[in-house]
Amino acid sequence: MATPFPLEADEGEARELLYEAYNELHALASELGGAAAAPAVVVVGHQTDGKSALVEALMGFQFNHVGGGTKTRRPVALHLRFNPRCDEPQCRLLSATGDAEEHDEAGVAARPMPLADIQAYIEAENLRLENDPCQFSEKEIIIKVEYKHSPNLTIIDTPGLILPAPGRKNRVLQSQASAVESLVRAKIQHKETIILCLEDCSDWSNATTRRVVMQVDPDLARTVLVSTKLDTKIPQFARPSDVEVFLHPPNCVLDVSLLGDSPFFTSVPSGRVGSCHEAVFRSNGEFKKAILSRELEDIASIEDKLGRSLTTMEKDRIGVGNLRLYLEELLQKRYIKSVPLIIPLLEKQHRNTTSKLREISHELSDLDETKLKEKAQLFHDTFLTKLSLLLKGMVVAPPDKFGETLVNERINGGTFTGSENFQLPNKMMPNGGMRLYGGAQYHRAMAEFRLVVGSTRCPPITRDEIVNACGVEDIHDGTNYSRTACVIAVAKARDTFEPFLDQLGFRLLYILKRLIPISVYLLEKDGEHFSSHEVLIRRVQEAFKRFVESTEQSCRQRCMEDLESTTRYVTWSLHNKNRAGLRHFLDSFVAPEQLSVNTLNERFSGLNDNKQDKAKGDSKSNHSPDTNSSTAMPETRLVDLLDSTLWNRRLVPSSERLVYALVHQIFHGIKEHFLVTTELKFNCFLLMPIVDKLPALLRQDLESAFEEELDSIFDVTQLRQSLGQKKRELEIELKRIKRLKEKFGEINKKLNSLQVRQ
């Protein structure tokens, strides 16, 4: 086969060099981050649309497994190059893993393989993925082909799109359809890509494959539309007008703004190439002749249906050969147009790679004891600086990445729940929906602790608990209800508030440990590169974790000791701060017929040796509305009081309510003291040590590590090997980019000189 366009010697040489450079660029596109994507034709179609068969016809030889169902599960990228000296296809399987011994010019592993082995490899990959949970893979099978019947094209064959039936029983197929569609959209999203959109239909209003393509290319500005299996459609048309509409669809059905202005129509002869009895074609040469013969038969059949001869323009749209010439010319134009844009991209990549290589070389030269110690001290100082800034407040770290809402914080750091399993609703907590970190998150956790503990009520008191708390004195068997109330109150307080200490310690410890990854992120963001010194980073991180864990444990122990002292001995000046509130509480609960105000005041006055309070109680009792008090004798009242309290253990309502009121008063005093001292101690003995004690501890840890062995903090041997490997990889990449840059520079000069001569 001759080249599709008559070229002069210089122009032909420039084009050959251009194809070679772009093939190399396509093989390196993934390593270059996709920024310099080479122009390529991506074939898109549904299952059984004849996609793989069309690709084989464009190549001039068969290579893939063609048939019903899903036969392509990995994209196949074919770098086709016309070579008149190759009577048979010369194929090389390119591997990005570099596991083969032989490499091509780009440094990518390239294994020469017979065509039969290429077929077997593709079928084995499809079979492997068919049994794999993922079913499909985005990773391309890259094949470089030279053949005298191949055009100069880069074609990517994609897995066939699936149209699953609705219903829950077809969920597996629906999931596969979604996976394939996502894979195809990813392959056609590059602006340099030419989309070959296959439609197996006789009515252009049915946009099956176009539905997916137009999600990426809405105007079909870079799409070539192809109607496949033309030989099966021609017999379906009964009238010449139907054929005319099919060949020239109106604008209302198919917008002619698509690339090429009108669709192409192709047919591929059925049958496989081989020597077995099932094979139809004995060689690829016979397959090539059958394609040309099929094209002539399709033209004759259409002319017979129309009753007229086709115009030259209409014939140019029929057949695989015309489609191949059109695509090759289109890619040539794209190649030439893209050359000036590729050179700056390669230049930028060359600068970036050179800069990385320089940094690696600098790190390798710094692997001596003195410089490593300096680097460790620098990391120590900068790490502490970032920690301090996070606690004081900053917005450099993105909240959407590192911040946590109150819901996330509760899930990861635990919740504040008391004996009643009360949990503060998120909407009642200030800043509960905001994504916080550092000092702001610490403050929010402490505020939630105050609100939850402050709203905690005294647990219910049963009559059994009151009687059991009375016990027996060491000198008499009477009852002391003030002691009873103290026993119950301190027991309830201890059981209620002790869990809050563990919850607060765990929550604040979680928040402080979150400072580590944020600090490392800030170091990297500011260009202070310590990523290669993973052992150093891990050592500092572990030292910080050990410090905050031990500090939190010590702080919690201090709080526990304070809670124990508060719940071991009742000091009325501390536990009974609101005496007027207690009196109001008693007045509201004690009915006149059960207990007079005078009796209540006498009982309450007996609890506190305060003459002034007794005088006030006596004054109030003289004005009591109790009518019995004016008639009863003082001795009788005293006997009744002793009988109902000291001598009789039968729990009357008045005694029960008195104990109930005293327990609540003592519990409230313990709660207030617990809140104040706990917050103060966690601030003083957990938060402040991070500021004033942590720097000295980390420095001491580094100095002790230096005294042991340098490898214990830097792992110099492993680091030198790792940096050496990175340096070698960067040197290879730099050579590839440099070679590509020179090639594209030479191509640009030749193309410019050709334009000047023209």
* CA nearest neighbour of 11 among 328, 340, 336, 346: 336
Q: Which range scores top for mean pLDDT: 337-341, 369-373, 505-509, 655-659?
A: 505-509
**For range 340-351, the mean pLDDT:** 79
Is residue 436 very low, low, confident or very high in pLDDT (cuts 50, 70, 90)? very high
- The DSSP line for 510-525 is HHHHTHHHHHHHHHHH
642 is a domain residue: no
> Tokens 């500092």 map to which residue?
540
pLDDT at 201 over 90: no
DSSP-derived pairing of the beta strands 223-227 and 264-265: parallel
Indicate the angle between helix axes 694-708 and 534-566, nearest 10 degrees. Answer: 140
How many angstroms separate the Cα of 596 from the Cα of each of 58, 152, 587, 626, 654? 109, 111, 10, 6, 10
Is residue 108 very low, low, confident or very high in pLDDT (cuts 50, 70, 90)? very low
33 is a domain residue: no
pLDDT at 446 over 90: yes
Q: Write down the mean pLDDT value for the chain.
A: 76
* CA nearest neighbour of 537 among 696, 699, 380: 380
106 is a domain residue: yes
For the segment 14-38, what is each residue's pLDDT rounded down to a tens digit? 556 666 666 565 555 544 544 445 6
600 is a domain residue: no
Residues 295, 382, single domain; the answer is: no
- The DSSP line for 403-434 is -B-HHHHHHHH-----TT-----GGGSTTTTS
The three state secondary structure string of 168-185 is HHHHHHHHHHHHHHHHHH
pLDDT at 569 over 90: no
Residues 54, 137, single domain; the answer is: yes
Whether the Cβ atoms of residue 60 and residue 115 lie closer than 8 Å to each other: no
547 is a domain residue: yes
Its domain, for residue 234, covers 39-354
Residues 54, 83, single domain; the answer is: yes
pLDDT at 123 over 70: yes
More confident residue, 430 or 564: 564
User: Based on the structure, what is the number of domains in the chain?
Assistant: 2
Burial of 483 (0-12, 13-18, 19+ CB in 10 A): middle
**Residues with Cβ within 8 Å of residue 597, at least 6 apart in sequence:** 587, 620, 621, 624, 626
Alpha helix ranges (H) inside 28-65: 51-59
How many angstroms separate the Cα of 446 from the Cα of each of 197, 417, 503, 522? 61, 14, 11, 26
Residues 540, 391, single domain; the answer is: yes
pLDDT at 723 over 80: no
Kindly report the CATH number assigned to the domain that includes residue 54: 3.40.50.300
The residue type at 382:
T
Half-sphere exposure of 165 (CA within 13 A, CB side): 4
pLDDT of residue 684: 93
Whether the Cβ atoms of residue 661 and residue 589 lie closer than 8 Å to each other: yes
375 is a domain residue: yes
Residues 438, 325, single domain; the answer is: no
Encoded tokens for 741:
């840059």
Whether the Cβ atoms of residue 249 and residue 317 lie closer than 8 Å to each other: no
Residues 388, 331, single domain; the answer is: no
Whether the Cβ atoms of residue 48 and residue 68 lie closer than 8 Å to each other: yes
